[in-house]
Chain A
Amino acid sequence: MLVIASGVGATGALAQSTGPSLSTYGTPGLIELPTARSLRDGELAFTASLVGPTLRNTITFQILPRISGSFRYARIDGQRSDGSATFDRSFDISFQLLDEGDVRPAVALGLRDFLGTGRFSGEYLVATKSLGSRWEVTGGIGWGRFAGRDTFTNPLGIIDERFETRPTGFSGPGGQVEAGDWFRGPAAIFGGVKYKVSDRATLFAEYSTDTYDRETLTNQIDLSSPVNVGFEYRFKNGVDLKAFVLGGSEIGAQLSYVLDPAKRAVPGGRETAPRPVGARNALAAADWNNSARGGGKVAVQRVLKSRLAEDGLTLQSFELSSTRATVRLENTRFGAGAQAAGRAARAMATTLPPDVEEFTVVLQENGVPVSSIVTKRSDLETFQYAANGAAQSLARASIQDAAGAGRGGELPGAYPVFDYGLSPYVAFSFFDPDSPVRADVGAQFKASFRPAPGLTFAGQFRYPFFGNIEDSERVTDSRIEPVRTNAVRYAQESELEINKLTAEYQFRPGKDLFGRVTAGYLERMFGGVSAELLWYPVGSRLAIGAEVNYAKQRDFDMLFGFQDYDVVTGHASVYYDFGNGFLGQVDAGRYLAGDWGATVSLDREFNNGFRVGGFFTLTDVSADDFGEGSFDKGIRFEVPLSFLTGKPSKTVLKQTIRPVQRDGGARLNVDNRLHRQVRDLRGIELREGWGRYLR
Chain B
Amino acid sequence: MKWHFGILSALALSLAACSDAQLQERALGVLLDEPSTSTGAGPFPRFKPLLAAKRGPALDVSIEKLELRGGFLRESKNGTIESWLGTDGVALIFDRGVLHGTRGVGAGMLASNVAASANAILTGRSQQVQRVHTFLTGNDIAEPRTYTCTIENQGTETITLDIGATATRRMVERCSGADQSFTNTYWVSNARGGIVKSRQWSGEFLGMLSIQTVYNF
Which residues does A use to contact B, with CB under 8 Å?
11-12, 260, 262-279, 310, 312, 332-333, 336, 384-391, 421-424, 446, 606-608, 641, 644-649, 651, 653, 688-692, 694-695
Contact = CB atoms under 8 A, between A and B. Distances in A.
A385 B140 contact: no
A387 B138 contact: no
A425 B103 CA distance: 34
B46 interface: yes
Contacts of A648: 37
B33 A421 contact: yes
B140 A270 contact: no
Interface string B76-102: 101001010100111101000000111
Given A387-B144, A390-B134, A273 B139 contact: no
Of B28, B88, B113, B132, the most chain A CB neighbours within 10 A belong to B28
Interface of B: 14-16, 25, 28, 30-35, 37, 39, 44-46, 75-76, 78, 81, 83, 85, 88-91, 93, 100-113, 132-142, 144, 179-180, 203-205
17 contacts: A11-B179, A262-B138, A264-B138, A267-B135, A268-B106, A268-B203, A269-B104, A271-B104, A272-B88, A387-B134, A388-B134, A389-B111, A423-B30, A446-B33, A607-B141, A694-B110, A695-B103
B139 to A, nearest CB: 4
Contacts of A312: 35, 37
Contact of A387 (B32, B37, B112, B205): B112
B93 A641 contact: no
A312 B102 CA distance: 21
A651 B33 CA distance: 9
Given A270-B14, A270-B16, A276-B76, A387 B106 contact: no
Nearest to B180: A11
A388 B139 contact: no
A11 B133 CA distance: 18
A421 B30 CA distance: 10
Of B28, B85, B104, the most chain A CB neighbours within 10 A belong to B104
Contact of B34 (A275, A641, A646): A641
Contacts of B105: 268, 270
Contact of B106 (A269, A272, A386, A422): A269
B139 A607 contact: yes
Give the interface SS of chain A, mostly helix, strand, loop or mixed: loop
Contacts of B78: 276-279, 384-385
Contacts of B203: 268
A678 B21 CA distance: 33
Contacts, number: 155
A310 B40 CA distance: 12
A267 B107 contact: yes
B25 A276 contact: no
Contacts of A260: 138
A650 B88 CA distance: 22
A277 B78 CA distance: 8
A232 to B, nearest CB: 26
Nearest to A581: B139
Contacts of B93: 385
Contacts of A388: 111, 134, 142, 144
Contact of B31 (A11, A268, A391, A423): A423
Nearest to A268: B108
Contacts of A691: 110, 136-137, 140-142
Given A263-B138, A267-B106, A641-B34, A387 B113 contact: yes
A644 B31 CA distance: 14
Of A265, A271, A276, A649, the most chain B CB neighbours within 10 A belong to A276
Contacts of B139: 262-264, 606-608
B83 A273 contact: yes
A385 B112 CA distance: 7
A653 B33 CA distance: 12
Nearest to B35: A332
Contacts of B112: 387
B91 A390 contact: no
Contacts of B88: 272
A388 B37 CA distance: 30
A333 B37 CA distance: 8
Of A387, A644, A649, the most chain B CB neighbours within 10 A belong to A387
A384 B101 CA distance: 11
A268 B205 contact: yes
B176 to A, nearest CB: 12
Contact of B140 (A310, A607, A644): A607
Contacts of B108: 267-269
A424 B106 contact: no
Contacts of B16: 270
Given A272-B90, A649-B34, A387 B140 contact: no
B75 to A, nearest CB: 6
A641 B32 contact: yes
Contact of A641 (B28, B44, B136): B28
B138 A608 contact: yes
B84 to A, nearest CB: 9
Contacts of B107: 267-268
Contacts of A279: 78
B174 to A, nearest CB: 14
Contacts of B132: 387
Contact of A273 (B34, B90, B109): B90
A153 B105 CA distance: 63
